[in-house]
Amino acid sequence: MHFPDDDNGQLLAEIAAAGIDLAQMHKIDFYILFEQKVDAEKFATAIAEDELSPATELVQCTDTGIWEVVTQVEMVPDHMLLGQTEQYLESIANGYNGYGDGWGLMDGDDA
């Protein structure tokens, strides 16, 4: 399987090499970062009401103090769809002074 030569393509290639079936639905975690807790909380509330990603978690990085909202989307991890989802979430996060920090798929999340 061929993947585009960018960060998402590289991550998809690594996931496929690990034996994960990319044609199946998976729970993908998207990471959105915030400097201020109040902004992170407002975004988490807004995105939790969105049909795309009702599962969210707010955590603070103990090293940096940055607030992170992890929002989970169930989807087939397709390169174009991942990029569109990242852009969509960032477009909402930008209104709350947040920015995207990528995505991840853990083996076994779809069990």
* CA atoms of 73 and 58, how far apart (whole Å): 15
Which domains are delineated in the chain? 26-105 (3.30.70.970)
Mean pLDDT in residue range 62-76: 92
Mean pLDDT of 73-101: 95
Per residue in 23-53, pLDDT tens?
Answer: 999 999 999 999 999 999 999 999 888 887 7
In sequence order, what are the residues at sequence separation of 6 or more whose Cβ sits closer than 8 angstroms to the Cβ of residue 8? 79, 82, 83, 103
- The 8-class DSSP code of residue 95 comes to G
What pLDDT, on the 0 to 100 scale, is given for residue 59?
A: 94
pTM reported for the whole predicted model:
0.89
Non-local (6+) Cβ contacts of 79 within 8 A are 3, 4, 8, 9, 12
